[in-house]
């Protein structure tokens, strides 16, 4: 698939056909990579492109600039909600790979500040790493706004207690990289200069696995979050029946393909 005809205004989009990794870069550093309606629409399109491209097996989501990964919704521009409050849309649905039913693993690389709607990206990723200068906080209540949407996804990552503390402390407390690692918000902290390379290395390692296995794993785990324990196990069993034979066939077919046999990487924190 060629992406030359797709011109994006707020993101950069590229595919490394060598290691089967797509990279999305939030590209509004002058606005702290805050998202507007245009970025939401472009990310929806990008997730769909990745979903339909069989040459892509994993994704890196990152952001341009040093100051911020994302400051959330750009409040200087109207988002364009319908007049009726009953038809308002959650921007997170447009930003979400899971809402687009895109089950290819996503590695999110966070640098600088991540606040408010920036958590949408973190909440929807499968692997999250950050640089040592990263900070996380939710500014909603400090500006008189109810923090109700982003914490729902955050609670699945760090639990109720940490989610409530982040949501209620607002601008007065920032979660540093070390704390983010301790509470499970991220799984690895690296120096700023190594962040993008490390994210790509993780994505490439995942992409070297049979895609039916990795995508089935992502789908099964995420969908289990919305189900009771026993129902989740029953559905997971169905997915193993559907995906295992496909994954084994892909592994056998790629047995002579060197880029599908990446060596395990040591995990050093």
CATH number reported for the structural domain that contains residue 153 in this entry: 3.90.226.10
Chain segment 118-174, per-residue pLDDT in tens:
999 999 999 999 999 999 999 999 999 999 999 999 999 999 999 999 999 999 999
Whether residues 62 and 91 share a domain: the answer is: yes
The rounded distance, in Å, linking the Cα atoms of 231 and 263 is 36
Whether residues 200 and 233 share a domain: the answer is no
192 and 215 in a single domain? The answer is no
Q: Is 36 in the same domain as 24?
A: yes
pLDDT, tens digit (0-9, with 9 covering 90-100), for 5-43: 468 999 999 999 899 999 999 999 999 999 999 999 999
How far, in Å, CA of 106 to CA of 38, rounded? 21
Among 207, 233, 261, give the residue marking a domain's end: 207
Q: How confident is the model over 90-103, as a mean pLDDT?
A: 93
Residues 97 and 195 in one domain: yes
- Total of domains in the chain: 2
pLDDT cut 90: percent of the chain above it: 78
State what percent of residues in the chain have pLDDT above 70: 93
Does residue 260 sit within a domain? Answer: no
**How far apart, in whole angstroms, are the C-alpha atoms of residue 46 and residue 60?**
12
| Domain with 183 in it | 11-207
- What is the rounded average pLDDT of the residues 47-71? 97
Q: Is 264 left (phi over 0), alpha (psi -120 to 50) or beta?
A: beta
User: In the predicted model, is pLDDT for residue 260 greater than 50?
Assistant: no
Q: Report the pLDDT value the prediction gives residue 108, as an integer from 0 to 100.
A: 98
* pLDDT given at position 256: 66
| CA 173/CA 160 separation, integer angstroms | 17
How many Cβ atoms sit within 10 Å of the Cβ of residue 232? 16
Residue 181 lies in a domain: yes
DSSP letters, the chain, are: ---TT---SSEEEEEETTTTEEEEEE--GGGTT-B-HHHHHHHHHHHHHHHH-TT--EEEEEESSSSEEE-SB-TTS-----SSGGG---HHHHH-TTTTT--S-EEEEE-SEEEGGGHHHHHH-SEEEEETT-EEE--TGGGT----SHHHHHHHHHHHHHHHHHHHHGGG--EEHHHHHHHTS-SEEE-GGGHHHHHHHHHHHHHTS-HHHHHHHHHHHHHHTTS-HHHHHHHHHHHHHHHHHHHHHHHHHTTT-GGG-PPPPP---
In this structure, the answer to whether residues 85 and 179 fall within a common structural domain is yes
Using CA atoms, how far apart are residues 8 and 232, in angstroms rounded to an integer?
38
């Amino acid at each position: 698939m060629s992406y030359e005809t797709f011109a994006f205004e707020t993101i950069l989009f590229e595919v490394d056909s060598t290691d089967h990794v797509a990279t999305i870069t939030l590209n509004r550093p002058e606005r702290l990579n805050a998202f507007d309606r245009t970025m939401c629409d472009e990310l929806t399109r990008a997730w769909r492109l990745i979903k339909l491209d069989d040459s892509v097996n994993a994704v890196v989501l990152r952001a341009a600039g040093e100051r911020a990964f994302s400051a959330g919704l750009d409040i200087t521009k109207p988002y364009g909600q319908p007049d009726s409050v009953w038809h308002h849309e959650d921007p997170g649905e447009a930003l979400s790979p899971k809402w687009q039913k895109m089950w290819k693993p996503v590695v999110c690389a966070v640098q600088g500040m991540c606040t408010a709607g920036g958590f949408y990206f973190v909440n929807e990723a499968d692997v999250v790493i950050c640089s040592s200068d990263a900070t996380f906080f939710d500014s909603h209540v400090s500006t008189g706004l109810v923090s109700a949407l982003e914490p729902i996804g955050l609670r699945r990552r760090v639990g109720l207690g940490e989610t409530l503390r982040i949501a209620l402390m607002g601008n007065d407390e920032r979660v540093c990289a070390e704390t983010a690692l301790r509470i499970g918000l991220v799984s690895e902290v690296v120096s700023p200069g190594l962040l993008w390379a490390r994210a790509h290395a993780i994505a490439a390692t995942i992409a070297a696995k049979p895609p039916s296995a990795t995508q089935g794993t992502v789908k099964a785990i995420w969908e289990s979050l919305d189900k009771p324990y026993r129902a989740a196990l029953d559905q997971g069993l169905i997915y193993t029946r559907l995906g295992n034979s496909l994954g084994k066939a892909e592994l056998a077919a790629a047995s002579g393909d060197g880029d599908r046999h990446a060596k395990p990487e040591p995990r050093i924190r």
